[in-house]
Amino acid sequence: MSSGALGRLCGQVLQRHSSIPFAYHCIQLSLKASVVARLCSFQHPGCRFHGTSSHEASVALHSFKVNSNESSQKLLEACTTSQVEQRRPDGVDHLNQIKSKLGKIADSFLDMGFSPAEIKDLFSLQSILSPQSILAVVSELFLLGISTDFILKALKKNPELLRMPEKHMTARAALLRKYGFTEGSLNHMANSFPMIFTLPAKRFVALEQLLRDNCLFTMEQISRILQLCPSILLEELSDVEYQFQFAYFRMGVKHKEITNSCYFQVPLERIKNRVIFLERLGRYQTPDKKGQTQVVNPKLKALIRASEHDFVTKIAHSSVEEYEIFKKLLAREKEEEWLEEAGMQNEESDSENDAEGSDSE
């Protein structure tokens, strides 16, 4: 068989096995090199390797062909072996170890999409717990629509979640569905605020009652607030109510805008600093009873979520230095007000004590 025919035959065979394209090209190159060398010796009998006879050149050419074929075969075997190993994600031995320790429970985790390595990480978080209790917690999270990646992230950030009883997890799943949490929002919550799965249910109930009865939010708006600002569950109820009152009465912002602006994510002190700064610059005004103002107030979302630099330059049209001086002066004003109030309270208590003393006489 000629070298050209041999090359075409190898190409046809290897093209049918597309999993080893790199080896195929390497073998083609070696065959082409051999063919070129042989044609050169046939068409140009005077062509010699430097410092060798024609016989030595023929021997060298034969050696080159053998070495090239051996190298190509080794490369072919290496590529095939490498691809087989890549198709085994964590290794058969690793998988067998997991199954030998967990038995049929391992199949449940594998069916959910966990890899053997992830199962190992999962059980290392709370090694003293039984596999059945871990499976119960993970199954509830999985049924909520949370992906295996985010389940593992949530459990790593909050390992106490694995200690939750199955009844708690079932009730928490129903509670989160009540507030309209979807698959996407729960994946985000598992990563950013996994405490939402372990906080006492009474926190949800008390916050809902405050926002509905005292602040007059609708149930749909309460659900939206919880999804955008879950950390509100950690705040004191009195602080939440006061922050709402500042937006509603002092800033004149309505419920819908408060809900969609992630207002409760931002510390109240930062909001107050910005609003008072704009007021003193004449760029913000509390609306009157009809909702009218003499200036165009910036939108709440832009005001509270802008970076410090953007707020000063684009909204307040001032300088960073001026804003820093203002914050220091405002803090001093608040301290003086606090001292004055404390002094007045002391005077009142002293006068009450004196009155009590005179009555006793």
pLDDT in tens, 61-96: 444 444 444 544 443 344 444 443 444 444 466 677
| pLDDT score, position 33 | 42
Choose from 74-83, 252-261, 336-345 the range with maximum mean pLDDT.
Answer: 252-261
pLDDT band with cut points at 50, 70 and 90 for residue 21: very low
Task: Indicate the angle between helix axes 166-178 and 131-143, nearest 10 degrees.
Answer: 10
Determine, yes or no, domain membership for 240: no
Q: Ramachandran region of residue 239, left (φ > 0), alpha (ψ -120 to 50) or beta?
A: alpha
The total number of residues written for the chain in this structure: 361
Whether 328 shows a pLDDT value over 60: the answer reads yes
* C-alpha closest to that of 138 among 171, 156, 161, 168: 161
Lowest-confidence pick of 44-58, 160-174, 271-285: 44-58
Q: For residue range 119-142, list pLDDT tens digits in order.
A: 889 989 988 899 899 999 999 999
Measure the CA–CA gap between 116 and 137, rounded to whole angstroms.
Answer: 18
Average of pLDDT values for 262-289? Answer: 96
Q: Ramachandran region of residue 229, left (φ > 0), alpha (ψ -120 to 50) or beta?
A: beta
pTM of the model: 0.68
pLDDT band with cut points at 50, 70 and 90 for residue 360: low
Q: Which of 86, 103, 132 is the last residue of a domain?
A: 86
Q: Which of 86, 101, 123 is the last residue of a domain?
A: 86
| pLDDT score, position 99 | 75
Number of domains in the chain: 2
Determine, yes or no, domain membership for 7: yes
Q: Which of 48, 69, 86 is the last residue of a domain?
A: 86
Q: Torsions phi, psi of 280, nearest 5?
A: -75, -20
Whether 180 shows a pLDDT value over 70: the answer reads yes
Determine, yes or no, domain membership for 279: yes
Determine, yes or no, domain membership for 288: yes
| pLDDT score, position 361 | 55
Determine, yes or no, domain membership for 233: no
Supply the range of the domain harboring residue 305: 266-353
Measure the CA–CA gap between 134 and 131, rounded to whole angstroms.
Answer: 5
Measure the CA–CA gap between 243 and 344, rounded to whole angstroms.
Answer: 26
Measure the CA–CA gap between 226 and 325, rounded to whole angstroms.
Answer: 36
| pLDDT score, position 17 | 44
Lowest-confidence pick of 78-92, 308-322, 333-347: 78-92
Determine, yes or no, domain membership for 292: yes
